[in-house]
Amino acid sequence: MQKNITIVGAGLVGSMLACYLSKRGYLVNVYERRADMRKVGYAGGRSINLALSHRGWKALKKIGLDKEVEKIAIPMHGRMIHDLQGNTQLTPYGKDGQAIYSVSRGDLNRIMVEEADKLEGVNFYFDHRCAKIDFDKNKLVFEKPNGEAVPEDNAEVIFGADGAYSEVRYKMQTTPNFNLNQQHEPYGYKELHIPAAKNGEHQVEKNALHIWPRGSFMMIALPNMDGSFTVTLFNSFAGENSFGELNTDAEVKKFFTTFFADAVPLMPELEKTFFENPTSSLVTIRSYPWKYKHACLIGDAAHAIVPFYGQGMNCGFEDVNELDEILSANKNWDDVLHKFQEQRKPNGDAIADLALHNYIEMRDLSGRKDFQLRTQIERKIAERFGAQFMTHYAMVTFSDLSYSEAQQRGAKQNELLDKIMALPNIEENWNGEEVMKMAEEWISQRQ
């Protein structure tokens, strides 16, 4: 064993990091403040289903877990838009059968922990809250909820993989020159549920991410393996039609009947679930530096984002994969951690911006005819010109482009799409050669 490494957090990123480091021969101790989910189950009610895409699959494949995860993953080939009248329209995410995959956070986390726990040199300690870190001596103190004494941990490298409200990051805030921007959004979310039909099948299209865009708020539904859907309502905390106005069964029933009429018959326990499950907040975390001495933040602890691009987990998994690639070329941990934060920080910021913007797209633009036409034109250009022009969504979701490059290229392509949408009678002429000629000229100028 080359070094003792401590990971604080046994969530998705922490457990994946343990797998990667163990395969490199490190001795890894993983501490988690929650109980062992394999024994007590995974607590629902405040978790958004995950959308696993290319970056996440790439990291899973590298440690041989992709086939196991495929067993719990449902492909979603596009957005199924539900309008106020209950009409639906499917907008594909990509081409050639490309899809994002709905996975249960709890099931995926269990698979990751079980895999890491089988590996030599990995030890898990649940019900251990990080109480103190001495960054100068690389020592950590943990507390158990029952007051039981916990031996002090002495690590050579410390990773904070403990999520958006990271204890490791909180303790880093007292170190010199640490910068933190924590932005809570004025809207939050509530998890709801569409059960399976009596025959066990899904009640609506299984292989799609369902969206009910309503301007200033929206509802989405992702399929589960048991025939049910995890439904999430995103809404403002205050104001007209907000969570603040939904305080009784009657108010909830009226709200859903008005704005999501086609979904109401699918949710027989709507009011009960609405008041049982908490209304949770959404936060964007930007911090830097991630490294202090021999400690480093990773995943949501370094760069938590809102869920609207489905990239939070994928970005965290890509963190681990890129850290591993840096380790392949350099075994000096001080250099490795420094390069890691420099390489990943711009991408963490870029996907944070993209995720915030995508909420506007999902809740408002996706339901508008002009935006649907714009998306159709963008896809047609991408089909015609292949690698020379990818849709913005494909760059983020189905490619290896860095998030920052995808953001920059997407902004430039939007300039072209703005010009195309401004053409006279574009609604009738969008499929003509004039549009393709403009795209070809624009592409040739950038080669």
- Per-residue model confidence as pLDDT tens digits over 199-220: 999 999 999 999 999 999 999 9
CA dist 143 and 365 (Å) reads 48
What pLDDT was estimated at residue 311? 97
Contact present, 416 and 388 (Cβ < 8 Å): no
CA dist 37 and 324 (Å) reads 27
- CA-to-CA dists, residue 249 to 40, 58, 256, 270, angstroms: 31, 45, 11, 9
Contacts of 425 (CB under 8 A, 6+ apart): none
CA dist 379 and 93 (Å) reads 9
What pLDDT was estimated at residue 147? 79
Q: Is the peptide bond before 289 cis (omega within 30 degrees of 0)?
A: yes
Query: Does position 160 have pLDDT exceeding 90, yes or no?
Result: yes
- φ and ψ at residue 326, rounded to 5 degrees: -65, -40
Q: Is the pTM of this model over 0.85?
A: yes
Q: What is the mean pLDDT of residues 247-263?
A: 98
Q: What homologous superfamily is domain 4-73+105-181+282-357 in, according to CATH?
A: FAD/NAD(P)-binding domain (3.50.50.60)
Q: What is the mean pLDDT of residues 275-302?
A: 97
Q: What is the mean pLDDT of residues 338-345?
A: 98
- φ and ψ at residue 163, rounded to 5 degrees: 85, -175
**Angle between helix 333-363 and 312-329 (nearest 10):** 160
CA nearest 40: which of 109, 101, 100?
A: 109
**Angle between helix 312-329 and 54-62 (nearest 10):** 40
